[in-house]
Homo-oligomer: A and B are copies of this chain.
Amino acid sequence: MNKRRLNVAMIGYGFMGRAHSNAFRQAGSFFDSPFELRLKTVCGRNRARLEEMASAWGWEEIATDWETVVSQPDIDIVDICTPNYLHAPIATAAAQAGKIVLCEKPLANSVEEAESMTAAARKVPTLVWFNYRRVPAVSLAKQLIARGRVGEVYHYRAVYLQSWGKDPRDPGAWRFDPVEAGSGVMGDLLSHSLDLATWLNGSVRRLCAQVHTFAEGRRVDDAVTVLVEFSNGSIGTFEASRFATGNLNRNAFEINGSLGALRFNLEEMNHLAFNDLGGDAAEQGWRRMLVTGPRHPYAEHFWPPGHVLGYEHTFICTLSDFLSALEKNERFHPDFADALEVQRLMKAVTESSTSRRWIDVSPSAVSVSQASGPI
């Protein structure tokens, strides 16, 4: 076919490296795209693991020096899934070399880094892998809100609860190093909740947070709880934890509005619960929708009704939407500027916990994230 080819270089090869590789391979099978992605180079420090990655996922070449890779003329897209502290230098270099830049979340280890990256990348298309916006059930929540089915929002309640990543000796050990990771659950889990919240419910006006470390000697946060006031007048709570035993991946939210309410939980990611307050009061209840039907977001690209999707499809949908925006020359969300807003919220969380005070979140800054995306 006469599709435009885009050569991809991926820096990093861990858990996210696999999820991204899969998306690069699969997007063109499930979605009709004007671009053909070529898995050109996978780059990292460990040559043996690079060989494995290349063999398993079809990367054509391996490389160990990212600085060379990001400036290679035949690379169109640089995808970053390294430990967090490397996001800034790699993204900046790639953007300066004019590449399309895709970056894992959280965008950076500080607001300063994130601002600098956003500035550096202001002329290239960017994507940050806040992949949960593209869970079909979450996209449906966004559509229902946009259609006015929820009405005025009173409450936004989010948790991201895990209990399996507690052992600092596991291969993702950099996640427990404050220098490499920047933070613990804050960047790893809370950032997802904050991105979804600002996307679904708008900007945050004020917050008060409590950051906690349970594991002795650990230098990053294991748990964080936050009280929030949103700009739309609703109030919220957030909690993220790696010590929420019994929960494996409970990235969940509930929204209570004047016309309807919504519930989502990533552990049951093919379902969205909706409580429509309209109609006959005798028939109201939590409606558990299996979001796999022909009228549901992304569903037509996959399987017939009732045939569920998994975690990895969120990356495929994200990438496909990005390529659509790229083709139309439109801004994609979430991009670096959107992720910078999440970074600002994380900074406010940290400041609030340290100072034991409520923190006003600058409204001017937040306004950027209000730009509406394609959905």
Contact = CB atoms under 8 A, between A and B. Distances in A.
A140 interface: yes
B246 A261 contact: yes
A86 interface: no
Contact of A162 (B26, B29, B276, B306): B306
A367 interface: no
A256 to B, nearest CB: 4
A347 B277 CA distance: 34
B288 A286 contact: yes
Contacts of A55: 1
A91 to B, nearest CB: 25
A258 interface: yes
Contacts of A260: 245-246
Contact of A285 (B210, B225, B269, B274): B274
Contact of A289 (B149, B274, B284, B306): B284
Q: How many copies does the complex hold?
A: 4
B287 A19 contact: no
A312 interface: yes
A143 B241 CA distance: 26
A19 to B, nearest CB: 7
Contact of A241 (B30, B155, B257, B308): B155
B249 A275 contact: no
A247 B256 contact: yes
Interface in A313-353: 313
Interface residues of A, number: 101
A208 B237 CA distance: 12
A230 B313 CA distance: 40
A155 B243 contact: yes
A306 B267 contact: yes
Contact of A229 (B143, B210, B250): B210
A174 interface: no
Contact of A29 (B32, B57, B235, B290): B57
Nearest to A152: B214
B28 A25 contact: no
Nearest to A282: B295
Given A276-B283, A293-B248, A296-B282, A243 B154 contact: yes
Contacts of A303: 15, 18-19, 310-312
A269 to B, nearest CB: 6
Interface string A226-269: 11010000011101010111111110001011101101001111
Given A164-B293, A244-B256, A308-B308, 15 more contacts: A154-B223, A154-B241, A157-B239, A161-B256, A210-B229, A243-B256, A245-B261, A245-B275, A246-B254, A246-B261, A249-B292, A267-B290, A287-B288, A303-B312, A308-B311
Contacts of A270: 267-268
Contacts of A305: 164, 248-249
